[in-house]
Chains A and B, each alone.
Chain A
Amino acid sequence: MARFIERHPAWALIVIIAVAVLAWLVFAIWPPGLEAAIGRKRVFLNAVLNGITLGGLYFLVASGFTLIFGLMRNVNLAHGSLYLFGGYIGYAISTWTGSWILGFIIAFIAVALVGVILQLAVFRRMEGQDLRQTMVTIGLSIVFADLMLWVFGGDFYQVQTPSWLIGPVQLPLLTAIKSSGEPVYLQYPLVRLVIFLASVVIGIAMWLALNRTRIGMIVRAGVDDRDILAATGVRIQLVFVLVFALGAGLAGIAGVVGGTFQSLSPGEDTRFLLASLVVVIVGGMGSIPGAALGAVIIGLAEQLGSVYIPTYAIVVTFLIMVLVLALRPQGLLARR
């Protein structure tokens, strides 16, 4: 942090000012002039919270994507299909057993198994041929999309939120003060907050696993130079399978989360593939903290954009990507 401020004082200043403005917008009671200019504070706060929680969901999808890419140089364009598959599995299990949590567990295991099969049966046979692997993932995404359309049809599905998570919760954030002097606090759906917290926990757990354990050390070494790692006697194929399973499983979990937040239908796979592409391009490919930062930026941009400039919301996301590519082609938090 201190080094960043020393090396880029101008950027640091801009970031600090932006954070301060955002904090003021979130915590202060808006003066009437501001409310007249850009609308109610409640709308703004909802958009910010929606953006951050959506960022949590994007992080779940993109972290698996970036992990697989970082270690195996495999641009898995079937990642969106894994997301949708996980969502459908979660929906089927949770309606069948009535247990939301069980839906998560089964979705993780099922999609991780698909990942293991893919790695063992397909990608292992064309190791080092990046382009061919990517083409194969494109073919797989078409096949998966059609198979899922066959089984589940074109309907919209929504995973049932468990009863203990339904309903809003009051947050200690003031939105306005009534004329009687009574403060009005923001109401926000509990389930989104819980899911966001869960994704933060998952993110921290991943960070700890990568930075504090032996297997994490092996994975990080593999990201840097997998040939030398293999030469030191590590069974790299096993590591590849494990990482692919973890990345796919995370996409599966994200599918259940997305099915609860939003809905599942054909076409969602492409949407989330695009989201994870943009997130990892912005954050830096192969970097977990980069995926987290990128996910929050893209989630916020999408939600704030759709509230304040509805017809150009997608352009904002895209402009962020262009800006990052122009200024820092390797991504915000990538090392190279």
Chain B
Amino acid sequence: MSLLQSTQFRPDPSTSTTRRALLRAWPEFQNPAAWLVALILVIMPLIANGFFLIEIFATTLILGVIALSLMFLAGYGGMVSLMQLTIAGFAGYMVAVFGVSGNANISLGWPWWLATPMALALATLFGTLGGALAVRTEGIYTIMITLAIGAAFYYFTNQNWAIFNGHTGINTVATPHFWGVDWRTDIAFYYVTLGVAAICYFAVQYVSRAPFGLALQGVRDNPRRMAALGFNPNAHRIAAYAFAAFIAALGGVLQVWNYRQISPGSVSVGACIDVLIIAVVGGITRPIGPFIGALIFVLLRTFALDVLIKLGLDGNRFRLLIGLGFLAIVFWSSDGVIGLWERWRRRNASSTQRSGGGRHG
């Protein structure tokens, strides 16, 4: 992030045109609120203690990255894929299998700098193959096929003991430790997740404005016309799956480092659907949506129990709360929390403009 900052404020008089081009490419830099959020995120370790830092913010960022991959596919490609968490889980499993873990009979014991790229590559391949399968049918069918892939992977990890160690999963996965820093200590790990999340966020933002992203949005809106223009819709879709799979795999690697274990429960169908809920609640039109959705989800998951008990209700009904909230969002705002916020702002703006005249109901 500091790198980008320095490019923007470089005191070079000849760069005014490039600077304008930069601002056109990255409109966030003009938004003071974005700078404020970035600043707060960077100094977070000064504000929050270990519990909040890891259990709330790092978890939010990790889930946000996984949901971001879904947002990219759904928002720009029009393909709602329910297997993004499966790809993330696959990457996590691969880290555990190739790297070092408590299950010595399964793990190959590679060092982290070899195991992690391997896991990322394999998970990207897995996601690309799944995508190649899913693009053979269209629209609404994508949900069914990706859900079937996710569920099949979940049942497979439950049944397979040779690689995935059945329903107990793989425990005490080693985390990276180099340059004299244990990267799993709270503050270091927070910065790792923040860095990865920022890179993913800006990568998605960039790709959405690059020629590939624009072509992908064209394919979403009218595949037939794009094909007539000489683009190959399916190739664009599969490439989108590959890109999203890589992002999801990054999230999965972070997740396995965070919990230090992985089991079929982490790739269950419910968890796959949670990612969809996160993306939809946050809003699938902008890359920031999944992170907002993830924050809401994590806060609910962590505190709903206490709040419900304090209100004299059954604390175990937190999933009911999430389901009802999701239904409400889907009913009233097709664009998630972002959509609600924008609508509210537009109404405010129009009412201040029209403050002289009467307000319309």
Q: Which of A290-336 contact B (CB under 8 A)?
A: 310-315, 317-318, 321-322, 325-326, 329-330
Q: Which of A130, A139, A329, A330 has the most CB of B within 10 A?
A: A139
A105 CB, min distance to chain B CBs, angstroms = 30
* Contact, CB under 8 Å: A311 / B145: no
B280 CB, min distance to chain A CBs, angstroms = 6
* Contact, CB under 8 Å: B80 / A131: yes
Interface residue A277 (Cβ < 8 Å from any Cβ of B): yes
Give CA–CA (A317, B277) in the complex, Å: 28
- Majority-rule SS of B interface residues: helix
With contacts defined as CB atoms under 8 Å apart, how many contacts are there between chain A and chain B in the complex? 109
* Contact, CB under 8 Å: B152 / A317: yes
Instruction: Name A313's contact: one of B80, B159, B320, B322 (CB within 8 Å).
Output: B159
Complex contacts, B145 vs chain A, CB 8 Å = 281, 321, 325
B105 CB, min distance to chain A CBs, angstroms = 16
Interface residue A143 (Cβ < 8 Å from any Cβ of B): yes
Interface residue A107 (Cβ < 8 Å from any Cβ of B): no
Interface residue A147 (Cβ < 8 Å from any Cβ of B): yes
Interface residue A45 (Cβ < 8 Å from any Cβ of B): no
Instruction: Name B320's contact: one of A134, A147, A321, A325 (CB within 8 Å).
Output: A147
Count contacts on B: residues with CB < 8 A to the other chain: 40
Q: Taking CB as reference atom, which chain A residue is nearest B159?
A: A311
* Contact, CB under 8 Å: A146 / B144: no
Q: Tell whether A134 pairs with B140 under 8 Å between CB atoms, given A139-B327, A150-B314, A311-B162.
A: yes
Instruction: Render A261-292 as a binary contact track against B, CB cut-off 8 A, 1 for contact.
Output: 00000000010001001101100010000000
Interface residue A176 (Cβ < 8 Å from any Cβ of B): no
* Contact, CB under 8 Å: A145 / B319: yes
Give CA–CA (A121, B147) in the complex, Å: 26
Count contacts on A: residues with CB < 8 A to the other chain: 39
Instruction: Name B144's contact: one of A270, A281, A314 (CB within 8 Å).
Output: A281
Interface residue A132 (Cβ < 8 Å from any Cβ of B): yes
Interface residue A140 (Cβ < 8 Å from any Cβ of B): yes
* Contact, CB under 8 Å: A325 / B136: yes
Instruction: Render A218-259 as a binary contact track against B, CB cut-off 8 A, 1 for contact.
Output: 000000000000000000000000000000000000000000
Interface residue B62 (Cβ < 8 Å from any Cβ of A): no
Q: Which of B132-165 contact A (CB under 8 A)?
A: 133, 136-137, 139-141, 143-145, 147-149, 151-152, 155-156, 159-162
* Contact, CB under 8 Å: B331 / A136: yes
Instruction: Name B323's contact: one of A132, A142, A318 (CB within 8 Å).
Output: A142
The 8 A-B pairs with the shortest beta carbon distances in the complex, nearest first, are A142-B323, A139-B327, A143-B323, A318-B152, A274-B151, A146-B320, A314-B155, A329-B136
B residues with CB within 8 A of A: 80, 133, 136-137, 139-141, 143-145, 147-149, 151-152, 155-156, 159-162, 269-270, 273, 276-277, 280, 314, 316-317, 319-320, 322-324, 326-327, 330-331, 334
Can you show 15 pairs from A to B with CB atoms below 8 A apart? A75-B140, A75-B144, A134-B140, A138-B277, A139-B327, A140-B327, A142-B322, A143-B324, A150-B317, A270-B151, A274-B147, A274-B151, A274-B152, A281-B148, A312-B156
